[in-house]
Structure 1
Amino acid sequence: MHIGKSYRLGEFLRWTRRNTYILFFLGLFPVIIHEIWGLKWLNVPWPVVALLGTATAFTVGFKNAQTYARAAEGQRIWTDILGLSRFWGTISIDFINNPIHSKELVYRHLAWLTALRYYLREDRVWESNEKSHNKEYQQFFHIPERMRPLETGLKEFLPDDELELVLRSRNRMGKILALQSKTVKSLNESGQVIAPQYAAMQQMIKDFYAAQAKCEQLKDSPYPRQYAVINHFFVWTFCFMLPFGIVHDFDLLNEVVSAPLRGYMAWVTIPFSMLISWMYISLEQVGESTENPFEGSANDVPISQMSQQLNIELREMLGESKLPQDLQPRNNIIL
């Protein structure tokens, strides 16, 4: 997530520069046909291009609205996890008069958060994080889950026997919650947690299962491919046809301009077609980079920072004095 005032224009131009190179050649080709080859009849009527541009604007706007909704949903889910986790820490300490068991429940919950965020940072074939423009931009920020393996992150919170069970499990987050439920049941049977408290803690575990399922659904259900593909086709078709639609109109300006521009106005098609096409291409690229809010791109939900925040707060609740440091943004980006 970018936490600065805004992206700089230079950053944006660098991020989109590969498409800008393509747009230059798409603008150059019709001008060469028109001016050098003399095929001035080979153009597209402007109303056709305008209609295509309008349709493309609708598809781009629809996609960006939907991808923003996915990002906002991811933020809402993790905001809920933030509140639930704080309450879990509170009841784990207040319900149980045994600091060892309280620490066990809190640390296991931190292990659940760790396993969940590592799962959400895994790659999916439909994600855009490995595309060249996004991969190159990763040099400007850190993805904490790529800095050290999951086993190292879990070892901080789980004993060796539980760590082995969790790492062998297909659903590591679910296994950790199952261990939480087993511990809470054991505390109830030993009389350390009375029935109403036991019910409240089991309800909390159920809520964590629900939050995990929402994260899994958002992670493993991509933005519908049919909409993504048609949006991509529309945008590039418009970018291809636009210079064919405006080259004739710019050529007509030769009748009203004076030297030294007279006779060369058709070449102005290139910068203007690039500018208009760049706006459409950039909006499409922004929508693509927003549709998967957990993949590890610069615009993702900062689940690593939120998990570290909970790590600090919950351990502070336990009375610990040696606390981890907050994650710091790099180039105004924090994950």
Structure 2
Amino acid sequence: MNTSSHYKMHHFIPWTRTKIYKMLLLSILPTALFYFLGWNWLAIPWVPVALIGTATAFISGFKNTQTYNRTWEARQIYGSIINCSRTLGIMTKDFVRGDNEKELHKEILYRHFAWLTALRFQLRETKSWENVKTKSYNREYLKYYNVPEWESSLDEELKSFLPENERQYILSTKNRATQILAQQSERLKELNKQGIITDFNYVAFENQLKDLYDQQGKAERIKNFPYPRQFSSINLYFTNVLCFLIPLGFIGELSKHTEKLGDWFIWLAVPMSVLVGWVFLVLEQIGESTENPFEGSANDIPITQISRMIEIDLREMLGEKELPPAVQAQNNILM
């Protein structure tokens, strides 16, 4: 997540420079052929360009709206996880009573930290349709920030939260986050049988775990189901066709004025085409970079920072004084 007011131009222009190069090639080549070789047939009426441009604008707007909705839903999911976690914290402190209640409070909440950790590691796994590691401009932008889940292992992270036998069991499972909540439920059932948690409070705890499962499932749905490829493909194809036709349309329009303004006037088709084409190509690239809010891009939901914030809040509830530092933004990118 970018924490500044906007992306700086010295970041944004290099990130989109391949689109500029593409439009320069698509505009200089036909203009040169028209100017030097007299290929007048390259000049086309503006009407088909406008019609395709209108269709492309609609489909680009649709895609960007839907990809933004995916990102906003992901942020809402983690907002709910924040609320559920804080509720779990006060429930643990108020509902779990006994001679060793402080140890039990720590055990339950540390297992919750393990769940947060396992979930963020799962969400940051790379899928075949994600592009943060496959597109050159995204790989290049990775130099401005680090993705914590790619630089450490889940095994090491869980050592701080789970006992050795439980940690080894969790690591042997496929969906680690799911099994951690299952272990949490099993432990709460044991405490209920021992009379440490009353039946009424036990039901409240289980409902809280259900809410956490709901949020995990919603996050997994976004992670495991991409923006439909048919819509992504048609937007890409429409944009490329439009960018191919834009220079030809400008040549057709500007060629009408060369007798009055001179033959050189046709070269204005190059900067005009680059500017208009760049706008459409960048809209496509922005939509693409917003599709997958957990992939590890600069536009991700900051799940590492949110998880650490929850951990700090709940550790303070436990009365701990030595707290982990909050996650800080790197070059205004917060993960």
Map 1:143-162 onto structure 2 (within 5 A). Answer: 143-162=147-166
Amino acid at match of 2:174: R
Structure 2 stretches lacking a partner, 5+ long: none
Aligned residues: 331
Give per-residue Cα distances to partners, 1:164-195, cap 9 Å, x unaligned: 00000011011101110010000000000001
Amino acid at match of 2:125: E
1:48 paired residue number? 48
Q: Contact (CA 8 Å) 2:124, 2:295: kept in 1 or not?
A: yes
- Rounded to whole Å, the distance in 2 between the matches of 1:169 and 1:104 is 21
Q: Contact (CA 8 Å) 2:30, 2:248: kept in 1 or not?
A: yes
Structure 1 stretches lacking a partner, 5+ long: none
1:126 paired residue number? 129
Q: Quote the offset at 1:253 in angstroms.
A: 2.5
Q: Quote the offset at 1:43 in angstroms.
A: 2.3
Give per-residue Cα distances to partners, 1:199-233, cap 9 Å, x unaligned: 00011111111111111101000000000000000
Give per-residue Cα distances to partners, 1:47-101, cap 9 Å, x unaligned: 0111010110001000000000000000000000000000101111111121111
- Rounded to whole Å, the distance in 2 between the matches of 1:8 and 1:320 is 40
Q: Contact (CA 8 Å) 1:289, 1:297: kept in 2 or not?
A: yes
Compute the TM-score of the two structures, normalised by the length of structure 1: 0.97
1:116 paired residue number? 119
Map 1:251-290 onto structure 2 (within 5 A). Answer: 251-257=255-261, 262-290=262-290
Give per-residue Cα distances to partners, 1:9-65, cap 9 Å, x unaligned: 221111000121111000011112211121112222110111010110001000000
1:250 and 2:258 aligned: no
Task: Give the 3-state SS of the residue equivalent to 1:193 in structure 2.
Answer: coil
Map 1:128-277 onto structure 2 (within 5 A). Answer: 128-130=131-133, 131-257=135-261, 262-277=262-277
Q: Contact (CA 8 Å) 2:45, 2:253: kept in 1 or not?
A: no
Q: Quote the offset at 1:268 in angstroms.
A: 1.2
Q: Quote the offset at 1:256 in angstroms.
A: 3.0
Give per-residue Cα distances to partners, 1:87-123, cap 9 Å, x unaligned: 1011111111211111000000000000000000000
1:315 and 2:315 aligned: yes
Q: Quote the offset at 1:254 in angstroms.
A: 2.4
Q: Quote the offset at 1:333 in angstroms.
A: 1.0
* Cα RMSD for the two superposed structures: 0.9
Give per-residue Cα distances to partners, 1:225-278, cap 9 Å, x unaligned: 000000000001000011011112223322333xxxx32111111111000000
Task: Give the 3-state SS of the residue equivalent to 2:41 in structure 1.
Answer: coil
Amino acid at match of 1:303: I
Identity of aligned residues (%): 44
Q: Runs in 1 of length 4+ with deviation above 4 angstroms?
A: none
Compute the TM-score of the two structures, normalised by the length of structure 2: 0.97
Q: Contact (CA 8 Å) 2:30, 2:247: kept in 1 or not?
A: yes
